[in-house]
Structure 1
C-alpha cells in the first residue's frame, strides 16, 4: 500500500536570472549593459551556487505539454492527439507530430529548441562564473550535457558558446551529432569523480551521470550513422561490442536502487520519497514552485472526471494491446484515487464512473451531451467525438482533497508535488538487457532473458521463454510508456519511420531528425538546415 502521508516538503531556493532565452540562444539586437556584451565571469554579481540553483529550477519548463512530450511521444507509436470538433485542432500542430509532418516554423519544435538551448546556457553560466566549487562545476557540466543530449538527439546539431564569447554574435560552435556524442562522453567522464556520490534525485549525482553515459553509449551507433550532408541515416546500425559493454558497466555501477514493488509509486505526488527506482528528476514542490506536471493527467482525462481534464490525448491500440490483463502497468488501483474518484492508474477504457454531486457513491459518468462516458479503442485523428480513445493516467493527482461547495476538490492540483522523472532504474535494467543482446559482456553473467523476466515478474506479467530485439522494444514500451523515451527507442530499433494507428503512411529518413527552427537559422547563419526541410 502506498503511504501518501510520507511527503517530505522539498526546499529549493529560487532566483530570477536576468537572461532572455531567445537572446542567449540565437543572439539579439538589444542587450542590457550589465551583461557587458559577453559571457564574462570576472565581474559577475551572482554566485555560481545561485546560478546552479537557477539551472536546476529551469528544467521544469521541459515538463510542458508542448516540449519533450510531443517530440518524443506524440511522434511515436504510443500516442494519438485526436481533433475533437473544435477542440485540439490548433491548426494541425498536434497532428503534425503524429504524422511526422513538421516544418521549420512549427511552434512546438521552436519552443523545444529554445527551451533546451537556453537551459543549457543557464548551466554554462555556472561554468563561466569563475567561483564555482569542483562539485558545482561538475553538476553544471552534467546539466549542460544532459540538455545538449536532447538537442543532439532531436536536431542533430548543438550550438555552443565559449566563455567570454560576444553575446551580440551568433554562437560560433555547432557540434554535429557524429562528434557531439564523443564530446559528451568525454565531458561526463572528466567531471565524474567531482559529482556527488549520492544525494536526492533532483541533484546531478554520479548515478545520474552513469545513466546519461549509458544512454550515450547505447545510442552512439545511431549518432555515428550520419551522412555527408549531416542527415541521419536509417538503420540497421552497427553497435560496437565495446559500447554495449560500457552500457552494462554503467548500469552495474548504479548504487542503491531496486525495482519498485508498487509500479505507480514512481509517479505519485511523493514519488521521489517513496520509489526505490528514481535516479534523476525535475523537482516540483507540493503547493510551491512547480512545472506543468499536472498536464500529465489533465491532457488525457475527460472534463467530467475529477480533477476535470482537458479531454485530449489517447493511447494507440498497439500500445494498449501489448499488455496482459494481469500486468499491473496496464491498470492498478491507487489509494486516494481509485477509492475516492473511481478510476485506476494506467489505461482507462469502457464505461467510466465517479462520484456525482459531491457524493462518494459512484455512478456511471456521462459526457457533455449526457450520453454514456465510454472510452473506446476506436479513434480518428482528424474527427473524433469527446469519448473516443483509450485514456492514460500515469502520473496521478495528489489524493489529498477538501470538500468545498458540497463537492470533492483536489488540493494543490495546480501545484502538485510529483517530480518529473527523467531516469529510473527499470529503464537502466532494460538498457542492460538490450546491450547484452547486442553483444556486450556482463562479468556477472546475467542474460537479457534474466533481466526482462525479472522485471516482468515484478509487474505480474508472464515470463517469456526467449527474448529478441523486438521483445526488448515491446518491454520498453510496456515499462516506459508516455515517459518520453519512445522516439529514441524506435529510431534505435528501426521502427520509427513505420505505420501505426492513425498513421497510415511510412515516413522518409528526414523524419529521423526534426527541422531546425527558421528563427534559429535566421539569427545564427552558422546553422545548416537538416536535409529534407
Structure 2
C-alpha cells in the first residue's frame, strides 16, 4: 500500500535553517513551526518520508558519494558542464566551504533529520511512529556524520531561533546512533514493504553503523578524521552479521536491473528500503539518473554530462549482466542497453520505432562513446555512459516525433538499501573477523552473488576483492565514497585524478553559512 503524501508548507525551510543556526527570519520561522504544530504525528511522519525525495537530487548523495569516488567523472564539454568547476571539485577533492553542492547537501540532510524529529517531539506519536521517525532521522544523520564529521542536534524544548546546543562528533555519534536504533528496532513495522522503515530496514542501517564504526572511532584531537587502515573490532563485525542474518524475505534477483525499473518495488525481490516516487505524481529528481549521462540525440534526450571511469568499466568480465543487459522494449526500440554504453550508439529512425540508425553528435560526428575523457576539456562523445535506473518508455499518444509520458515524473523508487548490499556487507564483516552462527564464508557469499550475475567464481577472496565486487554490484548507487574510505583507497589516484588527496578530504568542509549561523560548529581540519 502506498503511503499518503502531504505537503508541509514551511517545514523544509525550517529544517534547512534551524539545524544550522539562527537567522533574522523570526516571523517566518514562527509561522512555519506553528503550522507544523497543527499536524498529527502520522501527518508529520508522512511529510518526513516524502521529504527524503530531495536526496535523489544530483547535487546531494550522487555528488557527495559518487562524483568524489573512482566511479564517475563529470567532464567539461566546451561551454557545457563547467559550472565554475563545481563538478570537477568533487572528483579532484578540491572543495571549499563555499561549494554550492556541499552547502545544499548539508542543508538537505539536516532538514530531513529535523522533519523526522518533528515526529519525535509530537506528544501523540505512537511507539511505531517514533521508531520509524528515529530510523529516518538516523539515516540522514548517518550521512551527515559520514560526510562532515559532526551532527547538530537539539532537544525538543530548545529555542528554535537559537543554534542547536548539541554537536555530536564522530566517536560519540556512532554510539548514539546505534543505541537509538537498537532501542526502537522491535517497535518498527514488520511489514508494509520497502517504502516503509521496517525492521529489516532498521537491521540494515544498524549493520551499516557497526560496519563503519571503526572509521568514526579513528578520530584524533579536535575531531580530525584519521586515514586507514582501520582496526575493526570482531565484536562489532559479529553484531553487523547478526543484524544481517535477521533480514529475511529477500533473495538475489535473476534480473539485475529489475531493482531500478519504474516498477522496481513491486517486482524486485531485493529492495529493502526506498524513497518512494509516484509515476506521474509526487517524485524526487530520479530522472537525473539517465538524463545526466545520455546524449542529447538519444531517446529520451539527455543532458550529455556524467560518465563512468574506465577503472569502473574494466572491473567487469565479458558476460557479466551488470555490465550490459539488453532490455526488451528499450534495446530493440531505442538502441541502447542497460549498464554501460560504449562505442557507436544507435537510436530509432523515426517515431514508428521499427528500425534503428547510427546516431551522430550535434556537429555531425558519429556518436561513438569512448573510454578516453578529459575532465577539463572533452567533446560530446568522450566518456562511457551508464544506464542503471531505466526510463519510463511509455510514449505520449499525441507525440509529434518521440515524446515520453511522465519522463519528468517517473515511478522508479530510489533505492537506499537492497539485499545484494546486505550479502556483500556480511562477507566483508566475516573477512574482518566477525563470527557467523550460520557458518557461511566470505568466499561462498561472493561467489553466490557473482554466479547470479553470470560472472566467474573466485578461487579466494581478499579485502580488495570485496571492494571491487561492491563497485561492480553497487556502482552509481551512492555508497562508493563510504566504501573507499573504509577500505583506505579514497585518498588515492584514478582516472582524471592524478594526485593523491590530503587527509582533509576524508571529511567535507562545513559550509561557510552554517559556521556563520551556528557558533557551536568548528570547521574541519585543513579547510
Aligned residue for 1:477, secondary structure, equals: helix
Which of 273, 276, 288 matches 2:269? 276
1:293 and 2:286 aligned: yes
Aligned to 2:24: 29
Aligned residue for 2:88, secondary structure, equals: helix
Q: Does the aligned pair in 1 maintain the 2:3–2:195 contact within 8 Å? A: no
2-structure distance, mates of 1:340, 1:132: 50
2-structure distance, mates of 1:512, 1:220: 15
2-structure distance, mates of 1:28, 1:164: 19
- Shift of residue 46 of structure 1? 1.1
1:396 and 2:390 aligned: yes
2-structure distance, mates of 1:148, 1:472: 26
Matches within 5 A, 1:506-521: 506-521=500-515
Aligned to 1:4: none
1-structure distance, mates of 2:326, 2:374: 29
Deviations 1:213-271 (A, max 9, x none): 00000000000000112110001100000000111111110010000110000000000
Matches within 5 A, 1:124-273: 124-273=117-266
Matches within 5 A, 1:323-402: 323-360=316-353, 361-402=355-396
Structure 1 residues 297, 342: CA separation in 2 closer, same or farther (over 3 Å shift)? Answer: same
Aligned residue for 1:178, secondary structure, equals: helix
Which of 447, 460, 465 matches 1:466? 460
2-structure distance, mates of 1:459, 1:482: 17
Aligned to 1:107: 100
1:12 and 2:4 aligned: yes
Aligned to 2:45: 52
1-structure distance, mates of 2:83, 2:485: 27
1:419 and 2:390 aligned: no
Q: Does the aligned pair in 2 maintain the 1:347–1:390 contact within 8 Å? A: yes
- Shift of residue 40 of structure 1? 8.6
Q: Does the aligned pair in 2 maintain the 1:22–1:28 contact within 8 Å? A: no
- Shift of residue 33 of structure 1? 7.4
2-structure distance, mates of 1:419, 1:487: 22
- Shift of residue 406 of structure 1? 4.7
Deviations 1:489-512 (A, max 9, x none): 000000000000000000011000
Aligned residue for 1:93, secondary structure, equals: helix
2-structure distance, mates of 1:506, 1:483: 24
Aligned to 1:5: none
Aligned residues: 523
2-structure distance, mates of 1:197, 1:419: 20
Instruction: State the TM-score, normalizing by the size of structure 2.
Output: 0.97
2-structure distance, mates of 1:470, 1:405: 50
- Shift of residue 460 of structure 1? 0.1
Q: Which moved more, 1:295-304 or 1:163-172?
A: 163-172
Instruction: State the TM-score, normalizing by the size of structure 1.
Output: 0.96
Structure 1 residues 186, 399: CA separation in 2 closer, same or farther (over 3 Å shift)? Answer: same
Deviations 1:337-365 (A, max 9, x none): 11211110000000000102324210000
1-structure distance, mates of 2:108, 2:500: 29
Q: Does the aligned pair in 1 maintain the 2:3–2:46 contact within 8 Å? A: no
Q: Does the aligned pair in 2 maintain the 1:280–1:422 contact within 8 Å? A: yes
Deviations 1:43-88 (A, max 9, x none): 9321111100000000000000011101000000000000000000
1-structure distance, mates of 2:331, 2:512: 46
Deviations 1:374-404 (A, max 9, x none): 0000000000000000000000101222354
Residue segments in structure 2 that go unaligned for 5+ positions in a row: none
Residue segments in structure 1 that go unaligned for 5+ positions in a row: 1-7
- Shift of residue 36 of structure 1? 8.1
2-structure distance, mates of 1:350, 1:294: 24
Aligned to 2:57: 64
- Shift of residue 15 of structure 1? 2.2
2-structure distance, mates of 1:468, 1:79: 24
- Shift of residue 405 of structure 1? 4.5
Q: Does the aligned pair in 1 maintain the 2:276–2:283 contact within 8 Å? A: yes
Aligned residue for 1:32, secondary structure, equals: helix
Q: Does the aligned pair in 2 maintain the 1:336–1:400 contact within 8 Å? A: no
- Shift of residue 23 of structure 1? 2.5
Deviations 1:414-459 (A, max 9, x none): 0000000000000000000000000001111100000000000000
2-structure distance, mates of 1:23, 1:318: 40
2-structure distance, mates of 1:297, 1:121: 30
